[in-house]
Amino acid sequence: MGRHVAIVGVGQTHHSRRRTDVSQAGLVREATDRALADAKLTMEDIDSVVVASGPVLFAAVNQPEKWVVDAIGARLKPVVRITSGGGSGLAGALQGYYQIAGGQAERVLVVAYDKLSEGALQYSISTLYDPFWGREFAVGIMGFSAAYWRARMDVLGHTEEAAAMVAVKNRQNALSNPYAHVKQAVTVEEVLNSKPLAWPIKLLDVPPISDGAAAVVLSSERMAAKSTDRPAWIRGMGYFCEADNAAARSLLVSEPLALAARRIYRSAGITNPRRQFDVVEVQEPYTCFELSYYETLGLCQPGEAAELIRSGATAADGDIPVNPSGGCAGANPIGAAGLIRLIEGAAQVMGKPAGLRIPNAKTALVQSGGGWANLRGIAVLSA
């Protein structure tokens, strides 16, 4: 089905709480320049552009792609904007993947960004909710996420201590990531004692609010060798949804993520994820999500996530390292977050991560999602 597609160049900005030295378009330009340089290409070599970003309410510019294409020198090229909340970056990459797999393009630039310093974040996110049914009670997705974490505590044993260990691990890993904007080692006690924001979610369970952009160059097999002799091949990629408020939804696991994993694992030949993946990058907007994804992605059985993090298996030197980049705990420009996870997974199998390197990483799993729990996707990459 379709042609082989590889990631042949990656780039991201040095993320920060507020970049006043560049506009939104300038942020996009930085990431684009780095990805093109990494792929040893110029914009002339690019057939098509995908711009991904979060809700326009984040920064008050509608159809930002019309502005962005000028800023990256891509005028007169095919362009489309993809938006899917926190999953925008991965959903954008998926559109580029389709274009090349389907034979419509040889090389696609996918650039994703958000400049979250500009708007009112939780208020903007609350507009995800039905204006008649729940929006007046929404607390971004934090109220919702915390509520179902509380429910998973009882059923699956995802304790506050286990989530705190995720914060400790990811913040430790972020110390080595030159692009992360939060570099602060924390202890379990510090996380547990940090200020509650939406209990059980506390300040140190939460990623920073970031300005940042990320870009990848996707290539067909025919052209990949012009950029690198060690691309990251996309062995499978998908993005799924579920009904928002249908009967019999427990929300204890992410159903669309489970669907994506089963479907893509099958096409990529993954039958034992714990053993077959060398490294995993998940988008954990809050620590509790990482625990849930361990189970949904099959890194352990339901109810075993707390033990998995406690055992150290997901640490950078464990047998199934998760977020050696530091994950969202290091930086979280929402619209770019999924593409950053893809870049970090790809960089491991390309043998050139900017931060911690997982030795001999050949196969990587990348997860990202948007909405509250109803839009989720994965990618499987290999050397």
Partner 1 sequence: MLPRPDSFPVDLPPRHSVLSMPYTLTPGPATGTTLAALKQRRLLGSRFKTSGKVVVPAQDFCPDTGDSQFDFVEAPHTGVLNAFTETAEGLLGLVRIDGSDVDMAHRLVDTSYADLKVGQRVSAVWSDAPDAGYLSLSGFRPDASAPLGKVEPYAGGVEAVKVVPYHLDLHYNHAYGPFFGRLFDEMRTSGRILGVRMPDGDGALLPPREIDDISHRPSGTWVEIKQTGTVLAMSIIYLEFVGQKQPPPYIYAEILLDGARTKLIHNVSGLDMSRAKELVKPGTRVRAVWRVERTGSLDDISHFELLDGEEQH
Residues binding partner 1 (CB under 8 A): 18-26, 29, 43, 57, 59-60, 70-75, 115, 117-124, 126-127, 129, 131-134, 136-140, 142-151, 154, 195-201, 243-249, 251
Q: Judged by CB, which is closer to partner 1: 236, or 335?
A: 335
The neighbour count for residue 215, using CB atoms within 10 Å, is 35
| Shorter beta-carbon distance to partner 1: residue 57 or 186 | 57
CB of 199 to partner 1, least distance (A): 4
CB 233 within 8 A of CB 383: yes
Minimum CB distance to partner 1, residue 93 (Å):
22
CB of 33 to partner 1, least distance (A): 8
Nearest CB to partner 1, comparing residues 119 and 351: 119
The CA distance from 353 to 359, in Å, is: 11
- DSSP letters spanning 89-153: HHHHHHHHHHHHHTTS-SEEEEEEEEEGGGS-HHHHHHTTS-TTTTGGG-BTBHHHHHHHHHHHH
Pairing between strand 375-382 and 232-241? antiparallel
Least distance (Å) from partner 1 to the CB of residue 153?
Answer: 8
Compute the chain's Rg from CA coordinates: 19
Residue type, 207: P
**Closer residue to partner 1 (CB): 138 or 358:** 138
In order, the DSSP letters of 228-274 are: -SS-EEEEEEEEEE--SS-TT---SS-HHHHHHHHHHHHHHT-S-HH
Q: How far is the CB of 370 from partner 1 (least distance, A)?
A: 19
Cβ-based nearer residue to partner 1, 198 or 349: 198
User: Residue 201: which residues within 8 A CB-CB, separation 6 or more?
Assistant: 142, 145, 146, 149, 286, 288
**Residue number with CB closer to partner 1 (120 or 185):** 120
Cα(248)–Cα(230) distance, rounded to whole angstroms?
45
Query: Which residue type is seen at 173?
Result: N
Query: Which 3 state secondary structure label does DSSP give 168?
Result: helix
Closest approach of partner 1 to the CB of residue 197, in Å: 4
Of residues 19 and 181, the one with the C-beta less far from partner 1: 19
SS3 169: helix
The least distance separating partner 1 from the CB of residue 244, rounded to whole angstroms, comes to 8
Q: How far is the CB of 230 from partner 1 (least distance, A)?
A: 29
Bridge partners of 241, per DSSP, are: 375
Report the C-alpha gap between 90 and 340 in whole angstroms. Answer: 9
Pick between residue 117 and residue 276 the one whose CB is nearest to partner 1.
117
Q: Which helix (H) or strand (E) holds 52?
A: strand 48-53
